């Protein structure tokens, strides 16, 4: 009904016309919404170039700069990406039990260490990448002895004490920050970033200048500069992409902004905009830092593709030609002869194991007395079996054991064991004063180490070697070393004392001034181990302290007052995280220990230390060449 005229047929036609317009509108919207979503997702992920991807068609009117706020767009996209990253981290990390979550919620972190002036943070460091990390593994929690299932959930739990606002980079992101400082790349978009800052400031002042009736020229100049910067930034992401004479355009923009600042402006608007850019910059920097740290952690915990290829090729070749492997000539008597020098190595890394054995044998005066017991898992057993069949190490004997196939029921262990390595922990000590944060790395025995007394019943003494070491001197003198009735020989680490870990260790009695100790090179008296029943003590402590971080508390308490301190020259640790170790200290050490996340077989390893590891790699192997193993 229009203009006083009423007609049924006209009303029907108008109704159909309205329906047609509505359908057309829905069709257009259905096409625009996915396009906007995809563009927004793209700009959100590349948030560093977000300023150059704004809607420039709206800049034809002064109000366009107020109606469209790119900060809100970037913040929303960045929030989505940050939530996505958090979800990935949650998926990759072991989940915490309900009791753990409640423990954290109650502020359990404040109970870690309360003695002044030091506060301590302990975090499990998964420094040893394994072939098993490359594929999903079955859940072994139900197959562990008492206390292990709960403890596994805590191996990656981070407990933080002190002021969170003062948290340093290394405390939050660990060894990634050390690696970042060493490998910091030259900024290739410094001018682009400066342009974005100037563009943001110009937008902050433009709405006020546009309302001044006497400043039409300044308003036009600002608008032209803003549009020009938007056009350039939409096409350029690095300084190389910028058009020539960019410095003059920057100076022109700075002159316009300086002139705009001489006029009375709406301080609230400018304050809001500049606070937005400050918050955006801080959030964006932290987001990219968090994202980079996550990718770094993923890289150091994933076996390199070439190493995985080597293991798979060896496994396939073993089953193709295993009939030619003569297993009847194994020197079984040597495996149980206590008069020989027995070394134990727990590993599923073929190249790392080979380097440890090769470096030990090369520096030994009598290699015929050496027996290496290599404990591995079922997944890598056949690959290692073929590897050690193909390669010999002078006159040394190699004894390969699949831990998962061992029958230990006669020793009271009902469920089959699974392979664990030496566990590493990052301990951050920071003072309540202005002293800088001090971060130390400790490596201790894992669960498998506590099965050695049952696995090697006929042996009286063994030397345990970690897979991330290189031997530089003859280790024979260690076998004649008197340990004064102690069970374990190890290099002490007095940078961290038990008193500083008091709340981690529980209410057990111990000397606060006792030093911690390091795995890597350890002499174990199996006779005294059995006499003192240390395996059962460890299980009891694991069960009692199952709400603490990993195996650190139980291990330190198990060997409390049972460690014979080796001279510090026997082992030098830190080559997997410390860039400041001198050449002279490395040459004097009998054993180099690459504890930390930056292992020598990884691309992320510390380059200047890799040479000491690489020179003991096997050369000329067919499968290494085919898998492009970097040697």
pLDDT of residue 176: 81
Same domain, 264 and 353: no
| 322 and 256 within one domain | no
Q: Does position 454 have pLDDT exceeding 80, yes or no?
A: yes
* 3-state SS class at 596: coil
| pLDDT over 50 at 136, yes or no | no
The whole-number pLDDT of residue 351 equals 95
Between residues 122 and 77, the one the model is more confident about: 122
Nearest to 487 by CA among 436, 441, 543, 538: 538
For residues 46 and 432, which has the higher predicted lDDT (pLDDT)? 432
119: in domain: no
Q: What is the number of domains present in the chain?
A: 2
pLDDT grade for 501, boundaries at 50, 70 and 90: confident
Q: How confident is the model at residue 153 (pLDDT cuts 50, 70, 90)?
A: very low
State whether 265 and 390 are in the same domain. Answer: no
Q: Where are the beta strands (DSSP E) in 377-432?
A: 397-402, 423-431
Of 548, 380, 587, 534, nearest in space to 467 by CA: 380
- Between CA 2 and CA 14 the distance in angstroms is 11
Residue 27 pLDDT grade (very low, low, confident, very high; cuts 50, 70, 90):
low
Residue 281 and residue 268 share a domain? yes
Q: What is the pLDDT of residue 506?
A: 74
45-70 pLDDT, tens per residue?
A: 333 333 333 333 333 333 333 333 44
Looking at the structure, do residues 81 and 226 belong to the same domain, yes or no?
yes
- Determine how many CB atoms are found less than 10 A away from the CB of residue 237: 16
pLDDT at 320: 87
Which three-class secondary structure state does DSSP give residue 621?
coil
For residue 234, give Cα distances in angstroms to 71, 276, 603: 16, 21, 35
Q: For position 103, what pLDDT does the model report? A: 36
Mean pLDDT across the chain: 76
Q: Select from 605, 156, 521, 132 the least CA-distant residue to 349.
A: 132
Among candidate residues 259, 275, 301, the one where a domain is terminated: 301
pTM above 0.95, yes or no: no
Least confident of 237-246, 445-454, 571-580: 237-246
- pLDDT reading at 234 higher than 80: yes
pLDDT for 106:
37
The 10s digit of each residue's pLDDT in 535-549 is 999 988 888 766 555
Residues 80 and 45: their CA atoms lie apart, in Å, by 9
Q: How far apart are CA 128 and CA 302, in angstroms?
A: 9
Lowest mean pLDDT among 89-93, 298-302, 551-555, 577-581: 89-93
| 417 and 295 part of one domain | no
Q: What was the pLDDT predicted at 145?
A: 34
Which residue among 301, 335, 350 closes a domain? 301
> Which residues are 125's β-sheet partners?
424
Flag whether 212 is in a domain.
yes
Q: Which of the listed residues 236, 267, 301 is the one where a domain comes to its end? A: 301
Q: Mean pLDDT across the stretch 293-322?
A: 88
Residue 448 falls inside a structural domain: yes
Strand partners, 535: none
In a domain, 17, yes or no: no
**Do 290 and 323 belong together in one domain?**
no
pLDDT of the residue at 101: 35
Tell me which of 335 and 175 has the higher pLDDT.
Answer: 335
Domain residues for the domain of 227 are: 46-92+173-301
Q: What is the mean pLDDT of residues 20-35?
A: 65
Query: Domain containing 507 — which CATH number?
Result: 3.90.550.10
Report the range of poorest mean pLDDT among 253-262, 414-423, 461-470, 582-591: 414-423
Helix, coil or strand: residue 73: helix
Classify residue 364: in a domain, yes or no: yes
pLDDT at 92: 41
- In this structure, the chain runs to a length of 631
**Residue 99: is its pLDDT beyond 60?**
no
* pLDDT(8) > 70: no
> In 481-618, which ranges are continuous DSSP H helix?
502-505, 526-532, 534-544, 552-558, 583-588, 607-614
Please report, in angstroms and rounded to a whole number, the separation of the first and last CA atoms in the chain: 87
Instruction: Tell me what pLDDT residue 87 has.
Output: 53
- Residue 52 maps to a domain: yes
In angstroms and rounded to an integer, the radius of gyration of the C-alpha atoms of the chain is 32
User: Do 265 and 384 fall within a single domain?
Assistant: no
Is the pLDDT assigned to residue 616 strictly greater than 90?
A: yes
pLDDT (0 to 100) of residue 316: 93
Give yes or no for residue 236 having a pLDDT over 60: yes
Asked which of 467-471, 499-503, 611-615 is least confident by mean pLDDT, the reply is 499-503
Cα 504 to Cα 161: distance, rounded to the nearest angstrom: 12
Q: Say whether both 492 and 373 belong to one domain.
A: yes
pLDDT confidence of residue 35 = 56
Give the pLDDT band (50/70/90) at residue 592: very high
Query: How confident is residue 450, by pLDDT bands cut at 50, 70 and 90?
Result: very high
The total of other beta-carbon atoms located within 10 Å of residue 108's CB is 15
Query: According to the model, what pLDDT value does residue 553 have?
Result: 86
Helix (H, G, I), strand (E, B) or coil at 269: helix
Tell me the pLDDT band of 311, cut-offs 50, 70 and 90: very high
Does 619 reside within a domain? yes
Token pair for 182: 């060493």
Check pLDDT > 70 for residue 263: yes
The share of the chain scoring above pLDDT 70, in percent, equals: 69
Q: What secondary structure letter does DSSP report for 302?
A: B
Give pLDDT, residue 116: 33
Q: Are residues 295 and 331 in the same domain?
A: no
Looking at the domain assignment, is residue 110 inside a domain?
no
Are 185 and 233 members of one domain? yes
Averaged pLDDT for residues 340-346 = 97
Reported as type and span, the H/E element at residue 375 is strand 370-376
What is residue 284's predicted lDDT score, i.e. its pLDDT?
83
Regarding whether 447 and 327 lie in a shared domain, the answer is yes
Instruction: Report d(CA 430, CA 113) in Å as an integer.
Output: 11
| 323 or 388, higher pLDDT | 388
Does 157 have pLDDT greater than 70? no
């Amino acid at each position: 009904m229009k203009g006083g005229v009423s007609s049924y047929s006209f009303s029907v036609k108008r109704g159909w016309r309205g329906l047609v317009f509505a359908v057309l509108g829905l069709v257009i919207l259905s096409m625009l919404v996915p396009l906007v979503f995809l563009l927004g997702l793209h700009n959100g992920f590349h948030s560093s170039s977000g300023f150059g991807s704004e809607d420039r068609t709206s800049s034809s009117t002064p109000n366009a700069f107020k109606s469209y706020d790119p900060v809100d767009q970037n913040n929303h996209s960045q929030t989505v990406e940050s939530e996505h990253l958090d979800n990935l981290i949650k998926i990759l990390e072991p989940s915490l039990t309900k009791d753990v979550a409640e423990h954290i919620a109650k502020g359990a972190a404040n109970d870690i260490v309360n003695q002044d002036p030091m506060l301590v943070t302990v975090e499990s460091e998964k420094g040893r990448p394994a072939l098993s990390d490359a594929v999903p593994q079955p859940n072994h929690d139900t197959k562990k002895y008492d206390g292990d299932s709960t403890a596994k959930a805590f191996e990656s739990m981070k407990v933080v004490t002190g002021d969170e606002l003062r948290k340093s980079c290394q405390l939050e992101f660990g060894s990634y920050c050390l690696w970042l400082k060493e490998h910091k790349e030259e900024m290739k978009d410094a001018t682009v970033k400066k342009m974005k800052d100037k563009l943001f400031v110009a937008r902050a002042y433009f709405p006020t200048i546009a309302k001044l009736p006497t400043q039409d020229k300044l308003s036009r100049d600002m608008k032209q500069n803003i549009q020009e910067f938007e056009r350039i930034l939409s096409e350029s992401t690095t300084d190389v992409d910028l058009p020539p004479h960019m410095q003059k355009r920057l100076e022109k923009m700075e002159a316009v902004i300086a002139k705009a600042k001489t006029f009375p402006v709406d301080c609230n608007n400018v304050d809001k905009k500049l606070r937005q850019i400050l918050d955006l910059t801080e959030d964006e920097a932290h987001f990219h830092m968090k994202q980079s740290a996550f990718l770094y952690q993923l890289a150091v915990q994933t076996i390199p593709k070439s190493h995985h290829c080597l293991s798979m090729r060896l496994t396939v070749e073993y089953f193709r030609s295993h009939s030619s492997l003569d297993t009847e000539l194994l020197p079984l008597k040597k495996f149980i002869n206590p008069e020989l020098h027995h070394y134990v190595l727990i590993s599923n890394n073929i190249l790392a194991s080979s380097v440890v054995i090769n470096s030990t044998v090369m520096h030994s005066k009598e290699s015929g007395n050496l027996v290496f017991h290599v404990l591995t898992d079922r997944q890598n057993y056949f690959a290692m079996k073929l590897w050690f069949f193909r390669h010999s190490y002078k006159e040394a004997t190699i004894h390969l054991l699949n831990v998962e196939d061992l029958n230990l029921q006669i020793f009271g262990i009902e469920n089959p064991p699974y392979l664990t390595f030496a566990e590493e922990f990052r301990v951050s000590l920071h003072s309540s004063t202005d002293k800088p944060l001090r971060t130390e790395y400790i490596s201790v025995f894992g669960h498998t180490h506590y099965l050695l007394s049952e696995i090697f019943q006929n042996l009286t003494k063994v030397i345990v070697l970690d897979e991330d070491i290189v031997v530089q001197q003859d280790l024979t003198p260690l076998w004649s070393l008197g340990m004064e009735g102690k069970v374990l020989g190890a290099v002490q680490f007095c940078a961290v004392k038990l008193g500083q870990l008091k709340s981690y260790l529980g209410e057990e009695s111990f000397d606060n001034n006792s030093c911690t100790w390091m795995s890597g090179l350890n002499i174990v008296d199996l006779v005294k181990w059995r006499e003192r029943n240390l395996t059962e003590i460890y299980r009891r402590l694991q069960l009692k302290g199952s709400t603490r971080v990993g195996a650190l508390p139980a291990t330190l308490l198990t060997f409390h007052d049972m460690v014979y301190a080796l001279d510090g020259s026997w082992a030098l640790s830190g080559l997997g995280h410390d860039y400041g170790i001198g050449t002279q200290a490395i040459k004097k050490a009998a054993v180099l220990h690459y504890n930390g996340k930056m292992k020598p077989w990884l691309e992320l390893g510390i380059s200047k230390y890799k040479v000491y590891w690489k020179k003991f790699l096997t050369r000329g192997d067919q499968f290494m060449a085919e898998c492009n193993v970097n040697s």
